[in-house]
Structure 1
Amino acid sequence: MSRGLPFQVKMSIEKAIDSALLAVETYNKPATKFKSGGYIVLMTIAWTSLFHAIFFRKGIKPYYRQKNSSKFKKVDGEYWYWELQTCVDEYFKTENCAIRKNIEFFIPLRNKIEHKSFPEIDTDIFAECQSFLLNFDKILEKEFGERYCLRESLSFSLQMFPSPSNMRAAVVNSAKLKNVKDFIDTYRSAISTDILQSGEYAFKAFLIQVANHSSADAMPIQFYPFDKMSDAEKDKVQRIAALVKEKHITYSVANKGTLKPGAVVRRVQEALGNVKLTKNNKLIDKFNFDTHTRCWKKYAVRPDSKSEHPERTKAEYCIYDEPCEQYFYTEKWVELLIEKMSDETEFNSLFN
């Protein structure tokens, strides 16, 4: 495949292509719950190896140097290769293009999700994931020629219908997922509109079913890049796209946005750093159900369970559901608990 290229270039290209193909295979496995997790890790390896191949071909050694020295750093006897961000900085220099922004979106995101499972984000970042692959193929072709491209090996690069899990709903019950979602939103809001709408940053498409073609040789699916269309063609597509919009139906949901006690306990414990305490020679969570009970009593946000008036709560923190005979808590209650329980004096006062 890489015949004629220097050995290091050849090995880096092969590693890059193998990693990219494995990334697509991982994403498209039907049984995989967290598709984007493994995909991002493998595509990060693919991009890093591709950049290494480019630098080796240009006579640049992509190794970190020792401070104030011309010697290269080594780790366990091996040269310390440039990581992806260093490669991006070296390759793009001062160019602030959509491809660069797409790659840089995934570098911190990978670090946030590498050892976690957040299948809820698959749908939210699907467009960026698609461009992550298409851009890889584009740079591969630009630097080494069409014969190395992946597109001949793939039909649809990534499956077209990712999981419909509602990320925003899941965020309510997971502080760690909220941090990831906040990063995604912050990153997108910080880049220019032109880049955000570029297919090189996030690839979005819609399919229109057409009548079966009379020719047996006709391709079942044809792709027309939007930026290659004439103004008249773009206008037609935009008018069609305006018609293909998701229909939103509003349903009535009781106690929407509130939390059960277990969710409150979990959120606060995570926010406190999952600190453990020793009680009766056993390790327990610092914030647990007993702590939560002591808190709602101390701050008088709801009456005792035997009260004749269970509805008398502080509504900004807690509400009573009469049919279920249960108490539900608000985000403000979680925020208050995190603030109060971060103070050791306040925490210890619960047990005085």
Structure 2
Amino acid sequence: MKELQKNIPQEVIDYIENFAIKTPKEIRQNPHYRLKIFLTPVTANHEKSADSVLSFYRSGELPPELEESLRKVGVIDKPVHVSVEGLDLKRAGEITKAVEQAIPYKFHIGHHTRAWKHFDVRPINGASDPAATKSDMCVWSAVAGGYGYTNKWTKLLIEKMSDADVFLEITGLQPVLKS
């Protein structure tokens, strides 16, 4: 196994590390969360093939021959079903209130909409893939039929919208001081 690990391309290692970084802290720290990757050697079919090939399989969808070889090395797959959707996520209205309370300017839902568009945090309404979000800032919930925003998104907005010039740059609107 150590010999195989030496042959893992740096791009794959980077991908896995970036995946871990992008996974919200609340999920990574959940004792039920785990990322399991089985690396299996694949025989190349022509000279110019890569030295190593990675194949990703969903649990329960392994080809029979691979499943048999994994049993021989003692791999045990324990199914874990834990719902982590919605941990510490807030609706746009909640974010808007929190930002307005923290900054010296009026901040309404229209400002929030312009901000998520500016930062490309989520797709526009009616997009073919509503789940194509920056998951560290925003998550689509099919069950709730809407988007939930993270604490990281709230902090970013508070930081950026506290500066009048940045507020104008992001929203295209002059900030208005609260009275």
Structure number with greater Rg is: 1
**TM-score normalised by the shorter chain: which range applies?**
0.3 to 0.5
Structure in which a larger fraction of residues adopt helix: 1
Larger RCO (alpha carbons 8 Å, 6+ apart):
2
TM-score of the two chains, using structure 2 as the length reference: 0.48
